[in-house]
Amino acid sequence: GEDVEQSLFLSVREGDSSVINCTYTDSSSTYLYWYKQEPGAGLQLLTYIFSNMDMKQDQRLTVLLNKKDKHLSLRIADTQTGDSAIYFCAESPGFQKLVFGTGTRLLVSP
C-alpha cells in the first residue's frame, strides 16, 4: 500500500538547522520529492532525489535517503523565518502518480 508519514510539527530558532523526516512504503519509487507550501498557496518543488542516491545537497538543502529503512529526510541549514511553511515529502510509486506525506509544519522563530 501507499502510506507516507511525517511528523506534524517542528519549531526551530532562526539560524538553527531544521531536519524534517519522512517514511514511505513503496520501494519502487524512482524519485522522492520535497515540496513546500506556504499559507493559501500551491506547492513549490524544493528538491528531489533519485532512488539510487544516498544524499543530495542543493545550497541550504540536504536530502538524505535510507532506502533500506525507507526513510527520507530534509535538512535546512541556517533556517530563516521565510522558511516557515508546510513541507511535504512525496513518493512516486508509478509513472505520473505522486503520493504525498501528511505534511510537517515548520515554524521558525526569530
Residues that bind another protein (CB under 8 A): 30-31, 35, 40-45, 48, 50, 88, 92, 95-103
d(CA 102, CA 84): 16
Radius of gyration over every alpha carbon of the chain, rounded to an integer in angstroms:
13
CB 15 → another protein: shortest distance, Å?
27
User: At 110, which helix (H) or strand (E)?
Assistant: none
Residue closer to another protein, measured from CB, 16 or 93: 93
Q: Which is nearer to another protein, 45 or 107 (CB)?
A: 45
Contacts of 27 (CB under 8 A, 6+ apart): 67, 70
Give the nearest distance from C-beta 108 to another protein in angstroms.
19
Closer residue to another protein, CB minimum distance, 19 or 43: 43
